[in-house]
Amino acid sequence: MKLGHVMANLLSLTQQLQQLYRKVFPIPCLLCGLVTEGQALCESCIAELPVIQQCCIHCAIPIEQGQICGQCLKKPPIQDSSLSLYRYEQAVPRMMSALKYHRQIQLADICAREFIAYHSLATPPDVLLPIPLHPSRLRQRGYNQSLLFTDTLAQLLKIPCRPELLKRVKKTATQTQLNAKQRHKNMRQAFKYDSSFVPEHVAIIDDVMTSGATTHEAARVLKRAGVETIEVWTIARAISHY
């Protein structure tokens, strides 16, 4: 059995146990500590998260007016459009850290439901494609937070999730301490498209977009494979100061 299937089965079991636990014991909100109605965040904290009200249609950076930011006017990104739910500020970094590093995987479901609530999709993509982890990092972490987010989106939107199409073939360094130029260099040739099936319209799914280096490289590989329309969907958008 492949590692991905093993991890998926373990995660499914973990989620079932968490659901059973929540039915028996009260759950404190991850952000404020108050008892919730069986989920990781209380409704008050969810309502206070910094939703992006207006953003650049190409890169999802928050903007106050217009449809395209100055950077994308000068140099449009490879993807055709981008959507993001939250600004990466206030409580969002803490929430993303809990999802990514501390096994608070139920946050992926909450974020997926909120994403759909805030974004109407005029033309839904044919396939949802989560950014993959390198196999060694997947073994270390035990799950891919972007895949968890994508799985819930796929179920609610009734769009296929096809994680097997994009492989991570390069073990990249952690992006956290790198500037924008270093991030793009770090991600170069990190992915491989691994199928003869090429959908026309794809949404690449990730947790946080900062410089856009990761999604840029994934989109580049997809375009070379023949994908015509590429969107990027993320839970949060950081405002880069590089």
pLDDT in tens, the chain (242 residues): 555 555 556 666 666 665 665 555 678 999 999 988 778 999 999 999 999 999 999 999 999 988 999 999 999 999 999 999 999 999 999 999 999 999 999 999 999 999 999 998 889 999 999 999 999 999 999 999 999 999 999 999 999 999 999 999 998 888 877 888 888 888 999 999 989 999 999 999 999 999 999 999 999 999 999 999 999 999 999 986 43
Q: Where are the domains of the chain?
A: 52-171+187-237
Question: Residue 217's pLDDT is what?
Answer: 96
Residues 108 and 234 sit within 8 Å (Cβ to Cβ)? no
Residues 200 and 227 sit within 8 Å (Cβ to Cβ)? yes
3-state secondary structure of 86: strand
Question: Residue 98's pLDDT is what?
Answer: 96
Question: Residue 18's pLDDT is what?
Answer: 58
Nearest to 105 by CA among 37, 28, 39: 39
Residues 224 and 72 sit within 8 Å (Cβ to Cβ)? no
Edge-to-edge strand list for the sheet holding 81-87: 81-87, 229-237, 201-209, 127-130
Start-to-end CA span in the chain (Å): 43
CATH number of 52-171+187-237: 3.40.50.2020
Residues 6 and 83 sit within 8 Å (Cβ to Cβ)? no
pTM: 0.88
3-state secondary structure of 49: coil
